[in-house]
């Protein structure tokens, strides 16, 4: 009888232990079910976020992603949160940004083309300017040498000897060089034109004007009282040279000198035969 009771007590204790374990197992199962439900919910959230933010499914992402051996989930979450915060700080997305970029690129291409055209035009203009300057320098040098030679000849003829010439002052560019006139009347030393007398200055200026007109004749030349400071001998040489040059140029001379008027082919003047009444008089010599 005692053995049966002992056996019953042992069985009861074993049953109680089994019930306890069964209760624990049920609790663990409930906890697992809760965790499963949470995992499923989180999985669904991850899948939705993956499609929304990345534009691909979670399965595609997991298939293309190879996790490194030192991958740490918590660190990855922190990094993701940092990147998400940076994206949010960018502000609203401009949906027209692509179109605006295309327009800006087209505008940039147009402006770049215009800029290149301007650069090419400037280069072409500079090249043309260089060519013009080269030609101008050559023409100036040719004209200067010819006029200088004419000036020497006319100076000697008008002064009855002596020497006159022009020289270029030193300059980096021939077109910017100054011109100095040096004169040496007969019996005097070579000197600057500023040191000459009034008559000598006038004769030198006449020689230079005639030298220019001989190189490049003009239909008309007006001379105003250029013979006023000249003596009779110089006036004679002056009118002789004017007469020689008059074949290509018509000279109009304003003068009060009788010898100059005697050499003219036509005279035009103003007289006052009656008091207060002026009259234009003209005389033509055949």
| Measured torsion, CA atoms of residues 155, 159, 163, 165, in degrees rounded to the nearest 10 | -30
Strands 250-254 and 220-224, how do they pair?
parallel
Tokens 């399965």, located at residue: 59
> Greater confidence, 200 or 63?
200
pLDDT digits (tens, 9 = 90+) for 138-195: 898 898 899 999 999 988 888 888 888 888 887 777 777 888 888 888 877 777 777 7
**Cβ(224)–Cβ(232) under 8 Å?**
no
* Residue 186 pLDDT: 84
pLDDT digits (tens, 9 = 90+) for 106-139: 999 999 999 999 999 999 999 998 899 888 888 9
**Cβ(205)–Cβ(228) under 8 Å?**
no
- CA 251 to CA 248: how far, in whole Å? 10
- pLDDT beyond 70 at 64: no
- Give the residue extent of every domain in the chain: 1-58, 219-286
> Greater confidence, 62 or 113?
113
- CA 147 to CA 164: how far, in whole Å? 12
**Cβ(280)–Cβ(250) under 8 Å?**
no
Which fold, 219-286?
A: Rossmann fold (3.40.50)
């Amino acid at each position: 009888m005692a053995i049966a009771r002992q056996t019953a007590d042992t069985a009861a204790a074993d049953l109680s232990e089994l019930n306890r374990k069964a209760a624990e197992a049920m609790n663990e199962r409930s906890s697992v079910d809760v965790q499963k439900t949470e995992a499923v919910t989180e999985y669904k959230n991850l899948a939705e976020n993956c499609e929304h933010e990345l534009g691909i499914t979670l399965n595609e992402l997991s298939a293309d992603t190879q996790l490194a051996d030192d991958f740490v989930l918590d660190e990855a979450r922190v990094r993701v949160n940092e990147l998400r915060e940076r994206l949010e700080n960018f502000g609203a997305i401009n949906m027209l940004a692509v179109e605006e970029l295309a327009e800006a690129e087209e505008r940039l291409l147009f402006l770049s083309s215009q800029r290149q055209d301007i650069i090419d035009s400037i280069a072409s203009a500079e090249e043309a300017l260089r060519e013009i300057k080269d030609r101008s320098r050559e023409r100036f040098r040719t004209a200067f040498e010819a006029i200088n030679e004419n000036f020497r000849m006319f100076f000697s003829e008008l002064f009855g000897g002596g020497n006159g010439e022009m020289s270029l002052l030193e300059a980096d560019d021939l077109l910017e060089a100054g011109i100095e006139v040096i004169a040496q009347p007969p019996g005097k030393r070579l000197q600057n034109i500023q040191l000459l007398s009034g008559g000598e200055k006038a004769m030198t200026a006449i020689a230079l004007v005639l030298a220019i007109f001989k190189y490049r004749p003009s239909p008309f030349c007006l001379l105003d009282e250029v013979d006023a400071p000249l003596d009779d001998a110089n006036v004679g040489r002056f009118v002789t040279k004017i007469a020689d040059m008059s074949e290509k140029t018509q000279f109009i001379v304003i003068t009060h000198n009788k010898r100059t008027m005697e050499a003219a082919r036509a005279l035009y003047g103003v007289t006052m035969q009656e008091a207060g009444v002026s009259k234009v008089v003209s005389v033509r010599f055949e």
